[in-house]
Structures are given as structure tokens and as C-alpha cells.
Amino acid sequence: MKKIAIFASGNGSNFEKIMENIQVGFLDQIEVTSLITDKREAFAIERARRFRLPVHIIEPNQFESKASYEAQILKTLQREEVEWVILAGYMRLIGPTLLNAYEGKILNIHPSLLPSFPGKNAIGQALEYGCRVSGATVHFVDSGMDTGKIIDQMSCPIYETDTIDTLQLRVQNLEYELYPRVIKKLIND
């Protein structure tokens, strides 16, 4: 069994889909040790409780620096013998403390076809730009904002009638299929 920790800052729907894929046996060689969140109000916490999964709320404003914040996270990961880190809506750039400890072992999913529209509001940016296609990207995490090596992508059309909500729903459905598939290929097998 490979031990992973999932990081989330908000809703946690990708986290939940990963957990469901473990429950049904698709990701049968993975054990999620905990959910790590930087937000006390993250709905992902409620989702983790439904799976009886430990939650670590580690808020950056409780630390004097990003390095000390990440050192606390690293202690938790080492204590739980975590081998891989999966970002699922974690809204912080990962710094050198975690990048050095987990080089090539941190994954992220992003709601655009990277390298287009990194960062926040990718779906809104794609609509505003007038794109005909959007999608989701899984990539390795590096020190930049959604700049790590791309692992896999899925695309979907953008319709003239799309709003942020309708396109986001379509892209999220891609994410729910893509992320578990990439995790299975890289970590599970």
C-alpha cells in the first residue's frame, strides 16, 4: 500500500471522488493517511469526517514564515509515512520545504488545458478569452503557479451558451475521471 495525504482548501469534491475510487477498489493500492487543510472552514473537512479520515488543520497565519508552516506539515507527513502528496483544490503555492522532501511526488489538478490559464479563475478566463475548448490538467507540482510538467489532460467543448457554472460543472466531471486515472497509473500500480 502506498500512503498518500490529500491537501484541500475548499469544497473538496476532488478529494471525495478520490476517496470513492478507493472505496470501490479502483485505487486499491492506496491508503489516504489524512486530509490536510489550511482553512478551518473548508467543506473538505466535513467530507473527510464522512470517510472517518483524520484531518489536520494547519493554518499559515499561526506560523512566523512559510518555511515554518511547511515544516509543521512535513512533520505530519513524515509521522504518517506519506509517500505522495495529492493537491485537490489546495490554494497555496508549495514552497521549497515540501518540494525538496517530495520532489516528483506532488500532484495537482487544474481546471484548464495548461499552460493556458494558470492560477485562479481559469474557467472564467477561458470564457472571457473566447476559447472553444477547455478541460482539466494533472501535473507535477514545482515552485511556480501551475507550471509543473504536464502528466495528462482531458478536454471538453465550450458552448456559446456556457456560463461559468455550466462550464465548471463539465470541467469538474472531467477532473473526477482524470485525477483517479492518473493516480492509478502513477501511484496505484
Q: What is the CATH number of the domain that holds 65?
A: 3.40.50.170
What integer pLDDT is reported at residue 188 of this predicted model?
A: 75
* Residues acting as catalytic residues: 110
pLDDT along the chain (189 residues), means of 10: 97 97 96 98 97 97 96 98 97 96 97 96 96 98 96 97 97 98 91
* SS3 of 52-84: CCCEEECCHHHCCCHHHHHHHHHHHHHHCCCCE
What integer pLDDT is reported at residue 117 of this predicted model?
A: 97
What integer pLDDT is reported at residue 33 of this predicted model?
A: 98
What integer pLDDT is reported at residue 98 of this predicted model?
A: 98
Phi/psi at 125 (5° precision):
-65, -40
Q: Which domain, by its residues, includes 159?
A: 2-188
> How many structural domains is the chain composed of?
1
